[in-house]
Structure 1
Amino acid sequence: MVNPLFKLLLIEDDVTLFNEMKERLTGWSYDVYGITDFSQILQEFTAIKPDLVVIDIQLPKFDGFHWCRMIRSHSNVPILFLSSRDHPTDMVMSMQLGADDFIQKPFHFDVLIAKIQAILRRVYNYNTEQITLKTWCGATVDYEKNTVSNAVGMVELTKNETFILKRLIEQKNKIVSREDLIKSLWEDERFVSDNTLTVNVNRLRKRLDELGLGRYIETKIGQGYIAIEEENSYD
């Protein structure tokens, strides 16, 4: 699991949008909650104790600004505002009330997920690996300089290629699914689609071929990729 299991509270009265957001975010291993009574939002917030709140401005009873004030009087939990209104004052008001970010509807769900991940990473500081050098298959991988070197020579990688190699080495001799790699790249704010992942892995393998290491990155069709230490097939 790349993420800790964060609890998200979605304060959205559009049932269709709420259900789609919940489905998407649950697929990213977040624990997602909604509101059952829009007149009791503060009470439900207190009971759930979420790690992040996503709140729409236009709500029944009272608007999102009111509930942001109420939540801020009790908690410093990060808050992300949603708005279908095209008023710059909405964004200004949101930030003045202590919101962490703002998204204009309609939005792309990839943008929503990226913003949520960025806020959680910033607030909870959960992605802080410090290891910069790693030995793999007799080569030295420098994660900071984006290089791989052995007795044959040295090659430079792109940041995406380095990140992919790092994830594979961390799980060496185990298959890492394409989905896990894409999630990891998204978490680091490197916006990578399924097709882009294929291109990056192919380029990574071609670069490693210059050092005689390309064969140690294997594709497992329908499963993902594997970084091996020995010249085995692991079928």
Structure 2
Amino acid sequence: MFTILIVEDETKIANIVAQELRGWGYDVYITEDFQKVEDFFLQVQPHLVLLDINLPYMNGFYWCERIRRHSNVPIVFLSSRTETMDMMMALNMGGDDFIQKPFSMEMLLTKIHALLRRTYTYHQTETDILSHRDMKLHVKKAALTCSAGEIELTKNEFRILCILLEHKNEIVLRDELMAALWEDENFIDDNTLTVNINRLRRKLSEHGLDDYIQTKKGQGYMLI
């Protein structure tokens, strides 16, 4: 049974979502003390977190950063904020998805089901190590290493790099990447993929792996 933690200060929304998720067989916890979100997360050890941005005391961005110190568990932001910058901030802080309020329960459930399947199902590649130039991706451990050391990746960054490594020196279309990441690209803003690609490039560059991911304008990306 998967465990889901809801960090939402609007009690009505939290209870409605929790009731629906429990109906699907999930074990659900609702945060009550918004000064101890991190402690409650460590106590519950959930498989996925639903996290509001506007919270008492500290906002969702702060708690996302605190959770990321302990775990790569999928985090889905729920927010009434509509600015593109808020979505980009959520993803840059380590979130896996961003859903604007008001949202349909069907949309929320679809994203949760897909995230849990992708996160807790091993990649189907036949080899344990995918390598290219000065980097090695250890698939079973989801770890990336190079001569400068180990590079920590989010789950989406790992999946993107895995796909690019499996097709190195070939163009991988944006639609193909989005379909592989989210299974239904109609649910995802195109900016979301761009944010993840740019964040991955930055991490590679910080470890001396510059210009590994090349953009093919109007098509997609290629690992060179």
Give the TM-score, by structure 1 length: 0.52
Work out which of the residue numbers 69, 83, 108 in structure 1 matches 2:65. Answer: 69
* Aligned-partner Cα distance in 2 for 1:106–1:76: 27
Once the two structures are superposed, the pairs formed by residues 94-133 of structure 1 within 5 Å of their partners are 94-125=90-121
Please state how far the C-alpha of 1:91 moved relative to its aligned partner: 0.6
Which residue in the other structure is 1:60 paired with?
A: 56
Q: Structure 2: any 5+ residue segments left out of the alignment?
A: 125-182, 185-224
- What secondary structure is seen at the aligned counterpart in 2 of 1:60? coil
- Structure 2 CA distance for aligned equivalents of residues 21 and 111 of structure 1: 12
Percent identity, aligned pairs only, is 48
Q: Deviations over 1:199-218 (max 9, x none)?
A: xxxxxxxxxxxxxxxxxxxx
Deviation of 1:112 after TM superposition, in Å, equals 0.2
Q: In the alignment, what sits opposite 1:86?
A: 82
CA RMSD, 1 decimal:
1.8
Q: Does 1:6 align with 2:8?
A: no
Shift of 1:73: 1.1
**Equivalent-residue separation in structure 2 for 1:82 and 1:37 (angstroms):** 18
Q: Tell which structure's C-alpha radius of gyration is larger.
A: 1
- Number of the residue aligned with 1:27: 23
Runs of 4+ displaced beyond 6 Å: none
CA-CA distance at 1:86 after TM superposition: 1.3
* Residue-pair matches, total: 126
Look up the equivalent residue of 2:16 and give its one-letter code: E
Corresponding letter in the other structure for 1:20: I
Deviation at 1:74, TM superposition (A): 1.2
Q: What secondary structure is seen at the aligned counterpart in 1 of 2:20?
A: helix
SS state at 2:28 partner: strand
Residue 33 of structure 2 is matched in structure 1 by 37
Structure 1 unaligned blocks of 5 or more: 129-187, 190-235
Q: CA deviation at 1:85?
A: 1.1
